[in-house]
Amino acid sequence: MPTIKDVARLAGVTVTTVSRVLNNRGYISDATRQKVYQAMEELNYQPNEIARSLHRRKSKLIGLIIPTVSHPFFGELAGFIEYYAHLIGYKVLICNSLLDRKKEKEYIEMLKSNRVDGIIMGSHTLEVEEYMNLNYPIVTFDRRISEEIPYISSDNYGGGKLATHLLIQKGCKKIAHISGNLQLQLLANKRSQAFIELSKEHGIESVIVETELNVFDITQYEAMIRNLLEKHPDIDGVFASSDVMAAYFIQIGYFLNRRIPEDIKIVGYDDIKLASLFVPPLTTIRQPIEEMAKCAVELIVRQVNEEPFERENVFPVELIERLTT
């Protein structure tokens, strides 16, 4: 690979001059500028970003830790994050923690070693303190960690309310909520909270089941749901904490010959792209994934540039009513 020296030699100038045209500083005549460009062209020269990073102590890299990019919600989130990062010259390193505490830690160390400019955390199993002394531009999804670290979330409570309210309003008599693991202390837990409060308030019978800790694997959903429907065959409304869970529910309902929405109504959460393609199309609570992704990138950049930023970034959700309710 050619270096700046090769370019200088070929163009008949010094590396200082090449650097000057490369970085647009100082005086440069058009003639030499052209000579330099031509030499770069000829050699197919690409400035070594590693050397640059080393020197300027900025890598233009953002680390993204999520459970897994193969989950539709996180896939979409990652897609938008990369999109907005790329717009402003940042690259993104993906890390799939699989909600494994050890991997999460490993990834954080790795990202620090690689001197990423900031870390976007969409996966949370670690103790709060471990983040605290991270001393790094960070933004978290769905988790409040300390007074300083900014976080992004959807209006979980509002979403939970919208979903639960819809079920009640549609005449459900006994409703269930399937949530992620509640020990994880995520802000998503507020969805459950809203569910509980609202059903109590309306005197509606309700049950909650949650997924196991550390199990992101999707296979357990099925057993969980079948179990739920066996124990409570009279459930006629379900609020699932993600569209993927809702998909399981729809399917199991189909196999169990429960008509949707006639026998059981279902509301999901996220509004992943495929939600509208389910049969029947899924009623769900839409998180503004794109806006949240954009915000995450912005929060990192603001911290890098030492600009002021909001600590609380709660995005409004929207009820997307389709045909499962």
Partner DNA sequence: TTCAATATGTCAATCGTTTGACATAAAAAA
Partner DNA sequence: TTTTTTATGTCAAACGATTGACATATTGAA
CA distances from 188 to 15, 135, 154, 263, 318 (A): 54, 25, 8, 27, 15
Binding of DNA at residue 55 (CB under 7 A)? yes
Among 279, 305, 310, 316, binds its own copies (CB under 8 A): 279
Q: How many residues bind DNA (CB under 7 A)?
A: 35
Say which residue the tokens 């490369």 belong to: 22
Considering only 22, 69, 182, 204, the residue that binds its own copies (CB under 8 A) is: 69
Distance CA 251, CA 257 (A): 10
88 binds DNA (CB under 7 A): no
In terms of Cβ atoms closer than 10 Å to its own Cβ (0-12, 13-18, 19+), residue 188 is buried
DSSP three-state, residue 67: coil
Q: Which is nearer to its own copies, 76 or 298 (CB)?
A: 76
Which span (6-14, 123-131, 168-176, 233-241) binds DNA, by CB under 7 A?
Answer: 6-14
**Residue 57 in contact with DNA, rule: CB under 7 A:** yes
Q: Binds 185, which of its own copies, DNA, none (CB < 5 to 8 A, cut-off by type)?
A: none
User: In sequence order, what DSSP letters do the residues of 117-129 get, joined into one string?
Assistant: SEEEE----S-HH
List the single partner that 233 binds among its own copies, DNA, none, CB under 5 to 8 Å by kind: none
Residues 6+ apart with CB under 8 A from 245: 178, 221, 225, 268
Cis peptide before 261 (omega within 30 of 0): yes
Site residues, DNA (CB under 7 A): 1-5, 12-20, 22-23, 25-33, 45, 47-48, 50-52, 54-57
The residues binding its own copies (CB under 8 A) are 1, 44, 46-51, 53-54, 59, 68-72, 75-76, 78-80, 82-83, 86, 91-96, 109-110, 112-115, 133, 218, 244, 247-248, 250-251, 254, 273-274, 276-281
